[in-house]
Amino acid sequence: MPISLSACDLVLLREAIALSAQSRAQGRHPFGALVADASSQVVTRAINDSLPPHGDPTRHAELVAVAQAARLLGPDALAGCTLYSSAEPCCMCAGAIYWGGIGRVVYALSERRLLALTGDHPENPTFSLPCRTVFACGQREVEVIGPALEDEAAVAHDGFWTRTAP
């Protein structure tokens, strides 16, 4: 499947990847996401805030970014927004994107590649469920572009999932 990303898409996707590195630098799982409006202006930015193993496991970067955007924008504006993510949204985040009314998703690291990086790490029991499959079960279309820039996105994960707990 050919990937059609504009120069602006690439800039924003790289910003989401940079957020994943920022998340890791703060001791959190290396995931980042942002929501941009129809004119490519960033509305919200988020890093993973779930803080496993003891924090709220639902605070994935995508979910946080969508929730913030939904508080700021109405349904028509959200439909024109794009969520950029350092990794393919999991099924929970895909649900949040769908229910939040976001119209487009661009992601870097595929769920399959993420699973290869995380292995069976107990803090990230990765689903083998592509976000496209989740969206296909809904009543409205969500455009999905990805994976793209996987090698760049994988850098924030290098050695992270093999480290020993403090």
Indicate which CATH number applies to the domain containing 53.
Answer: 3.40.140.10
Q: Per the domain annotation, does 31 fall within a domain? A: yes
Long-range contacts of the stretch 7-11 (C-beta < 8 A, 24+): 8/40, 9/82, 9/84, 9/106, 9/145, 10/148, 10/149
Q: Per the domain annotation, does 54 fall within a domain? A: yes
Q: Per the domain annotation, does 164 fall within a domain? A: no
Q: Per the domain annotation, does 129 fall within a domain? A: yes
pLDDT at 66 over 80: yes
- Quote the number of domains for the chain: 1
Q: Per the domain annotation, does 2 fall within a domain? A: no
Q: What share of the chain is helix, strand, coil (3-state, %, to 5)?
A: 45, 15, 40
> Which residue range forms the structural domain that includes residue 79?
7-157
CB 48 within 8 A of CB 56: no
Q: Per the domain annotation, does 163 fall within a domain? A: no
Confidence of residue 166 (pLDDT cuts 50, 70, 90): very low
**pLDDT tens column, 96-135:** 999 999 999 999 999 888 888 887 776 667 777 899 999 9
How high does pLDDT run on average in the chain? 91
Q: Per the domain annotation, does 71 fall within a domain? A: yes
92-110 b/e with 16+ CB inside 10 Å = b?
ebbbbbbebbbbbbbbbbb
Instruction: Compute the CA torsion angle 129, 66, 23, 12 (nearest 10 deg).
Output: 90
The pTM for the full model equals 0.92
Confidence of residue 52 (pLDDT cuts 50, 70, 90): low
Q: Per the domain annotation, does 1 fall within a domain? A: no
CB 149 within 8 A of CB 55: no
pLDDT at 140 over 50: yes
Confidence of residue 91 (pLDDT cuts 50, 70, 90): very high
pLDDT value for 123: 67
Residue 125 or residue 162, greater confidence: 162
Query: Which residues are catalytic, by number?
Result: 62
